[in-house]
Chain A
Amino acid sequence: MAMLEVKNLGISFGGLKAVDDFSVAIEKGQLYGLIGPNGAGKTTIFNLLTGVYRPDTGTILLNGQNITGKKTIEINQCGIARTFQNIRLFKDLSVLDNVKAGLHNHYRYSTVEGILRLPRYYKVEKQMDERAMELLKVFDLDGEWDYKASNLPYGKQRKLEIARALATEPKLLLLDEPAAGMNPNETAELMETIRFVRDNFDMTILLIEHDMKLVSGICERLTVLNFGQVLTQGETSEVLNDKRVITAYLGE
Chain B
Amino acid sequence: MNKNKVRMQNGITYAIVVGCWILVQIMDKTGHMTSLLRGILVPLCMYSILAISLNLTVGILGELSLGHAGFMCVGAFSGAFLTKCLENLLPNLQLRFFLAILIGAAVAGICGILIGIPVLRLKGDYLAIVTLAFGEIIKNLINVMYIGLDKSGFHFSIKDTMSLGMDETGVVIIKGAQGITGTPKASTFLIAVVLLLITLFIVLNLIHSRTGRAIMSIRDNRIAAESIGINITKYKLMAFSISAALAGVAGVLYAHNLSTLAATPKNFGYNMSIMILVFVVLGGLGNIRGSMIAAVVLTLLPELLRGLNDYRMLIYAVVLIVMMLFNSSPRAIELRSVLLERFRRKKEPAAKEAA
Contacts and interface: CB of A to CB of B under 8 A. Distances in A.
B217 to A, nearest CB: 4
B290 to A, nearest CB: 15
B221 interface: yes
B227 A90 contact: no
Interface in A21-76: 50, 52, 72-73, 76
Contacts of B221: 88-91
B206 A101 contact: no
For A89, A94, A114, which residue has the most chain B Cβ atoms within 10 angstroms?
A: A114
For B206, B223, B228, B232, which residue has the most chain A Cβ atoms within 10 angstroms?
A: B228
Contacts of B227: 50, 72, 76, 81-82, 84, 88, 165
Interface string B221-263: 1011111111110000010000000000000000000000000
A26 B345 CA distance: 62
Interface in A75-89: 76-77, 81-82, 84, 88-89
A129 interface: yes
A78 B225 CA distance: 16
Contacts of B216: 90, 92-93, 97
Given A111-B238, A115-B205, A73 B231 contact: yes
B226 A111 contact: no
B228 A164 contact: yes
A115 B209 contact: yes
Interface in A141-177: 146, 164-165, 167-168
A105 B229 contact: yes
A102 B228 contact: yes
For B210, B220, B232, which residue has the most chain A Cβ atoms within 10 angstroms?
A: B210
A91 B219 CA distance: 10
B152 interface: no
Contacts of B223: 52, 84, 88
Interface residues of A, number: 42
A76 B212 CA distance: 20
Nearest to B5: A146
Given A101-B217, A104-B210, A121-B209, A115 B229 contact: no
B1 A101 contact: no
Contact of A114 (B205, B226, B229, B231): B205
B77 to A, nearest CB: 27
Given A73-B231, A101-B213, A102-B228, A90 B2 contact: no
A243 interface: no
A227 interface: no
A128 B1 CA distance: 13
A73 to B, nearest CB: 5
A62 to B, nearest CB: 15
Nearest to B2: A146
B213 A115 contact: no
Contacts of B286: 92
B214 interface: yes
A104 B213 contact: yes
Contacts of B232: 73
Nearest to B231: A73
A94 B230 CA distance: 18
A246 to B, nearest CB: 34
Nearest to B229: A76
A98 B212 CA distance: 12
Nearest to A122: B3
B264 interface: no
Contact of A111 (B209, B224, B231): B209
9 contacts: A73-B230, A84-B223, A89-B221, A89-B224, A93-B217, A101-B225, A125-B210, A128-B210, A167-B228
Interface of B: 1-2, 201-202, 205-206, 209-214, 216-217, 219-221, 223-232, 238, 286
Interface of A: 50, 52, 72-73, 76-77, 81-82, 84, 88-94, 96-98, 100-102, 104-105, 107-109, 111, 114-117, 121, 124-125, 128-129, 146, 164-165, 167-168
Q: Which 7 A-B pairs have the closest CB atoms?
A: A114-B209, A76-B229, A90-B220, A88-B224, A72-B226, A101-B217, A111-B211
